[in-house]
Structure 1
Amino acid sequence: MTKLYTKDEIIAKSHEIAHMIANTEEVEFFKRAEAQINENQKVREKIASLKSLQKQAVNFQHYSKERALNLVEGKIEAIEKELDEMPIVEEFKNSQVDVNDLLQLVSNTIANNVTNEVIRSTDGDVLRGETGSRVKNETYGSSCS
């Protein structure tokens, strides 16, 4: 008989996986890139300006001040462009993508394997993505009509 797991056991295992992910090259690179950004005064100043302009934009939008909003949005775009052109910011954004890709890979792998386990445990067809219970229900369903 197959062992049944509790939610607590699964959560405990997820903590173990989270610890493993937090100690990968991708996450280490992300942490270093983030630290470099936080230590860079030019980046910090641009981010502070950006946040201030974004607050202004929200206020202008709230009070329907279209011209002022358009001016502020132009300034926001210019600062974002400057930030995006900085190698340190590009490295940071790339590291974010790498970490997100790793998390997505783990999530998809778990989801796909759960689906396949369910299909196999019901004597279904993994290649067709059908559980065995569906095949049985179709047989029963046709005789009830």
Structure 2
Amino acid sequence: MTVTQLTHPVLEAAQRVAVRLQQMEEVKRYRLAEEQVNKSEAVQYYIQTIKQKQKELVHAKHYQKSGYTRQLERELDQLHEQLDHLPIVREYQQSQVYVNDLLQMIKRTLLNSVDCYLSVEGGIAEPSGCGSGGACGCKSKK
């Protein structure tokens, strides 16, 4: 029996979680904000201008033009600030932070749940426990 066959029910459960995540309003809001950011002419203008100024900055540093380097750094700071203050970008960033936090929480929950029952060292799974006797109910120590 292969690992895929052994974990098949787990993979199915992971797929169900992924589908449920995609159906969440927060994730839908993130996807919509991402789409709007990608289609926004204003956002694309700032992104292209920032890329151009960054290339100029690399050249200015290479040729040791310190005055021009400082000017470009100020311009880049202003462009980044203007981009970050566009309502569409703020919405995108806020939804991105929320979705990322949600995914990190799911990851920590999975890791803690698995770690409570298995200690994987050197590629070999050994029965173990978290040692706390808490939520997982184990009492063994690592």
**TM above 0.5:** yes
Q: Tell me the residue number matched to 2:118.
A: 118
Contact 1:30 1:99 in 2 (8 A): yes
Question: Which structure has more helix as a fraction of its residues?
Answer: 1
Shift of 1:124: 6.4
Deviations 1:55-91 (A, max 9, x none): 2223333444333222111111101111122211110
Higher gyration radius (CA): 1
Q: What's the RMSD between the two structures over aligned residues?
A: 3.1
Structure 2 counterparts to residues 69-80 of structure 1, below 5 A: 69-80=69-80
Aligned partner (choices 99, 121, 140) of residue 132 of structure 1: 140
Aligned residue pairs total 129
Unaligned regions of 5+ residues in structure 1, if any? 135-145
- The residue identity in structure 2 corresponding to 1:125 is G
Higher strand share goes to which structure?
2
Q: Residue 96 of structure 1 aligns with which residue?
A: 96
Structure 1 pair 42–133 and aligned structure 2 pair: CA distance change class (3 A): closer
Distance 1:93 1:26 in 2: 12
User: Scaled by the length of structure 2, what TM-score is found?
Assistant: 0.71
69-78 vs 51-60, which deviates more? 51-60
Please state how far the C-alpha of 1:12 moved relative to its aligned partner: 5.5
Work out the percentage of aligned pairs sharing the same amino acid.
28
Equivalent residues of 1:122, 1:131 under 8 A apart: no
CA contact (8 A) 2:116 2:130 kept: no
SS in 2 for 1:125: coil
